[in-house]
Amino acid sequence: MEAALLSVLLKNLASRMLSLVDQKYNLYKGFEGDAKFLTMELAMIHGAIDEGLSAAATTAGNRGSSVLHLSIEEIRDLARDMEDCVDRIVYHETREQQASRIARPLNFARLQLAKEMQRLRKRAEEAKERRERYTVPVVLGQSPPTTLGDGESPQQAELVGIDGPREELLAHLGEAGGEGEKKKTLKVISIVGFRGLGKTALARELYNSDLGQSFSKRAWVSAAHRSPMEVLMDIIRQVSKTTASDASAVDLHQLNAALGDQLTNSRYFIVIDDMQRDLWSTIGSAFPKDGFSSRIVVTTTMQSVAKACRSANSYVYKIRRLDKRQSKTLFLNNACPEEYSDYPQPDSAQILKKCDGQALALVTVGKFVLENMEWPTGANCNNAHNYLRHHLENKSENCEDALQRMRQVLIHHYSMLSDHALRACFLYVGMFPSGYPIRRKRLLRRWSAEGFVEALPSGSTPDPAAENFNNLIDRNIIQPIALSSNEEVKTCQTYGMMREFILLRSISQDFISFCDDGKLQYQHVRRLCLQNNTAVDGGSLDIDLSLVRSLVVFGKAGKTILNFKKYRLLRVLDLEECTDLDDNHLGHVCKLFLLRYLSLGGKVTTLPEEITKLKLLETLDLKKTGVNILSTEVIKLPHLTNLLGKFKLLNKAKRINELQKFLSSVNCRLQTLTGFITDGSEGFPELMGHMKQLRKVKVWCTELSSSSSGFTNLQNAIQNFIHDENSASNDPRSLSLNFDNCPEDFLYKLKAQCYLRSLKLHGKLLKLPQFVVQLRGLQELCISSSPKLSAGLLSALSNLRKLKYLKLIADELDKFIIKDNGLPSLLSLCFVLIRPTFPVMKENALRFLKSLHLLCENLDGLSGININGLKRLEEVILHANVKETTQVAWESAAMEHPNRPKVLVLEKVDLTDGGHEEDESTVALQGQELGNGAQIDELNNATK
């Protein structure tokens, strides 16, 4: 295990050891002293690793590296044994609290525990003495970050699929990209994307084009591993065509001024390749904003860097991967000798899937096939994809030249994740199958349950799990494939070659174990993943399942894996995709006292009462089950934070008062409840109003019961939930309500003062309820109503001056006008209609709108919409089934717009109430080509 991953384990373990001491478990005499000693040792080891990581680059490769590796392995084994010991303590103490007559076994367990703690203390002392004896730093369990060259560009002959992006960016490079004075100001064009997609090649095409060479002053510089002063001096040398002053003779301020003098009153074109974080804030002021239509092009792997390189007239282009046809062309150009161009081509389907449209991967893998598989005579050339993982991991001399560049790129992206917890979160993505759409919340909750991120109190910001996720998205390491209605990433997946790297790292570091053809790679398994029906039965499973902390199954698991008597220390149990799980397995699941995350599917229809024994459970996900009745006792689980599904509450009136007291106390942590069904009878409405930590709730109203008094209680509960305390609180409170079967005046009785961040309403609405207009903090609103939304309701929406995201779902809309200054804060507007009827948008309405979604398959042409008034429009999204003539019409309209917004099409349309990621619906944008293995870049894949 490398030092970074070991550091995560040690930090988490030290915190848990302290927690054991604080809880003062009555374990054995001397336990507190042993625990504090081991905690101090863990803290010292963790600190030594953190300090040594910064010095790894200067000492890597010395003669002590083999001893160093042994030291890291020794600490890893010690830390894991300590973790096992801590988890056993918690398991046995929890078990004791759940049972009444097991004192003798527990006394024996305490005796064993005392001996184990003493052994661990002795091992820690011996490890420390050994480290001091051989004077080997504990820390250097990893290689230094790989240094990449300046460019990533394939040879000119290898450029494939570049024509469309080049023409698009040439249009921005020219003078057609603005209006009035804006047309003549400096424009910064950012090209962003994962390494190896051809950013540098695309920038080089712009620089060498006739248009690029028409600028009076030009410079091309690489910013990789260079200081701001070095970058500035390089630009000055090129634009002045003289030798710049030595760095020691000037300071940064003087260089900024010197460059400004050189560029003033000139039409200049500067390319900064591989722009680094914070560089633009240092050198950006050196570039005159002029009136000569000057251009700066930057390339970067990070979206945040691309957005930071802004000017008053800027454009961000996220580079697209090649489609299947282009990928095949580029691969065969490099894999097949020209003299065999008429020979039957090798089967490239699996290789294209792994390369995932990444130009560098296609080039390097093509050369690997040509050089090492000896195509067409080689016996294994059609199975080359099976050899890639081995050669990416092992530096064989034969494939060094072919795959070295690809390996460097992958290692570089990984090594740039300096935060240890972020690396663990990154590798954990490998627990999902290739091409599987990973729900963001599902991933974040499992990170938290694993202990990779620190759990914070309700409403705390920033959320460490969300920050780590956004960091991986920002670096283009994981790919967003679907967005919710507020433009937050809803589902994601990994790139083909990046996934290969994740699997390699995870396996080599013994981080994740995969079952392959009924066999496991390691006996020491902490995280076990079964994918693609690789079930394990009989005696072929030669591991100790009692040590497994995380189990995830996609497909059939088999009897051995589903024998939960064998497990003890599970924290994460994700079985929502397990096909052979049923009610009979749940009895022993309820004895896994350390479970923090439980997701069920298969044929599960009923939860046993013993589920209440899972006192540490944080997430209970029942969306994929047939469970429609839930016991009130489940809500009393003291750590339960997320409860997901669609169920009624089992009505036990005598327990309601007791439950209300618990929910009103600080002990209730329930934040997400999506959701409950109510028919107006007593039960859930009486409880909801007492859930003080609740932040997100979804409710379905079904047919009225014989007594509808419960709807008054539900109304009171919702009123209490949306009540505004007049505080400065801006917590992410969200309500989703399907009110089709509620009394007619249900929503109209809700009153101000009230607060919500997000509101989704599904049902027949004749007018906009007054409380909606008066909601403080409302940023996201989705209204779904049939057959139509009235003009009065639609006009009232204009009063929502702070609304950012609006989604309207109906058969059609009444005619209405969005007046001047209407919806002044709106960033995204979405229409999902059967008959395309759209509002008239006045010239000064929707002044900040960036995204317009017209999800109407019957859309005919522009349907009277004039987008020229939407000055900041960046994208128009259409239904996948619109006619080709309609797509062409919108592309033409976009070309005439000053911002040249992208025109995108949806593969599937989300008809839910706003696209909550808790829903199972899929929203994905269509790329150039869809089908098996085709990838979707939701944010930027244009139709042309």
Q: Which of 240-254, 381-395, 541-555, 913-927 has the highest mean pLDDT?
A: 541-555
Q: Which of 38-42, 287-291, 434-438 has the highest mean pLDDT?
A: 434-438
| Average pLDDT value for the chain | 79
pLDDT at 361: 85
Residue 861's closest CA among 833, 824, 887, 886? Answer: 886
- Write the pLDDT tens digit of every residue in 321-342: 888 888 888 888 888 877 777 7
End-to-end CA distance of the chain: 46
How many C-beta atoms lie closer than 10 Å to residue 379's C-beta?
8
- Return the SS3 of 841: strand
Query: Comparing 171-185, 408-422, 606-620, 821-835, which segment has the lowest mean pLDDT?
Result: 171-185
* More confident position, 290 or 596: 596
pLDDT at 132: 65
What is the spatial distance between Cα 141 and Cα 10, in angstroms, rounded to a whole number? 14
pLDDT at 13 over 90: no
pLDDT at 298 over 90: yes
pLDDT at 518 over 70: no
* More confident position, 888 or 710: 888
pLDDT at 756: 93
pLDDT > 70: what percent of the chain?
75
Average pLDDT estimate for 364-382: 71
pLDDT band at 549 (very low <50, low <70, confident <90, very high): very high
How many C-beta atoms lie closer than 10 Å to residue 161's C-beta?
20
Q: What are phi and psi of 875, to 5 degrees?
A: -155, 145
pLDDT at 590 over 90: yes
- Write the pLDDT tens digit of every residue in 93-147: 777 776 654 444 455 566 676 777 778 777 777 777 776 666 544 444 444 444 4
* More confident position, 525 or 817: 817
pLDDT at 793: 92
Average pLDDT estimate for 790-817: 92
Where do the domains of the chain lie? 1-134, 162-175+184-240+255-318, 324-339+347-393+401-406, 417-454+464-509, 512-616
- Write the pLDDT tens digit of every residue in 743-754: 777 888 888 889
DSSP letter string, 606-674: ---GGGGG-TT--EEE-TTS---EE-GGGGG-TT--EEEEEEEEP--HHHHHHHHHHHHSTT----EEE
3-state helix, strand, coil in the chain (%, to 5): 40, 15, 40
Angle at which helices 359-372 and 385-393 cross, to 10°: 100
DSSP 638: T
- Identify any residues that bridge with 209 across adjacent strands, giving them in sequence order: none
pLDDT at 929: 29
- Return the SS3 of 835: coil
Average pLDDT estimate for 861-869: 90
Q: Which of 456-460, 541-545, 727-731, 819-823 has the highest mean pLDDT?
A: 819-823
Average pLDDT estimate for 609-638: 92
Q: Which residues contact residue 396 at a Cβ distance below 8 angstroms, ignoring those fewer than 6 apart? A: none
Could you please state the CATH topology (level 3) that the domain comprising 417-454+464-509 is classified under.
Arc Repressor Mutant, subunit A (1.10.10)
* More confident position, 357 or 762: 762
pLDDT at 414: 83
* More confident position, 940 or 599: 599
pLDDT band at 851 (very low <50, low <70, confident <90, very high): very high
How many C-beta atoms lie closer than 10 Å to residue 799's C-beta?
13
pLDDT at 915 over 70: no
Average pLDDT estimate for 828-843: 91
* More confident position, 658 or 447: 447
Residue 440's closest CA among 391, 393, 487, 500? Answer: 487
* C-alpha triplet 506, 511, 515: angle, nearest 5°: 75
pLDDT at 157: 40
Using only C-alpha atoms, what is the Rg of the chain? Answer: 30
pLDDT at 804: 95
pTM reported for the whole predicted model: 0.87
* More confident position, 212 or 128: 212
pLDDT at 76 over 70: yes
pLDDT at 145: 43
pLDDT at 809: 94
- Return the SS3 of 114: helix
Check if the beta carbon of residue 614 is closer than 8 Å to that of residue 591.
Answer: no
What is the spatial distance between Cα 340 and Cα 815, in angstroms, rounded to a whole number? 64
Residue 842's Cβ-count burial label (10 Å; 0-12, 13-18, 19+) is: middle
Average pLDDT estimate for 767-790: 91
pLDDT at 932: 27
Task: Tell me whether the omega of the peptide bond preceding residue 675 falls within 30 degrees of 0, making it cis.
Answer: yes
> Of all helices (H) and strands (E), which one includes residue 701?
strand 696-701
What is the spatial distance between Cα 305 and Cα 475, in angstroms, rounded to a whole number? 10
Average pLDDT estimate for 642-671: 80
pLDDT at 653 over 70: no
How many C-beta atoms lie closer than 10 Å to residue 866's C-beta?
11
pLDDT at 705 over 60: no
CA atoms within 13 A on the CB side of 785: 19
* More confident position, 123 or 221: 221
Measured in whole angstroms, how far is the alpha carbon of residue 687 from the centre of its chain?
33
Q: State whether CATH 3.40.50.300 applies to domain 162-175+184-240+255-318.
A: yes
pLDDT at 643: 96
pLDDT band at 389 (very low <50, low <70, confident <90, very high): low
pLDDT at 54: 47
pLDDT at 235: 94
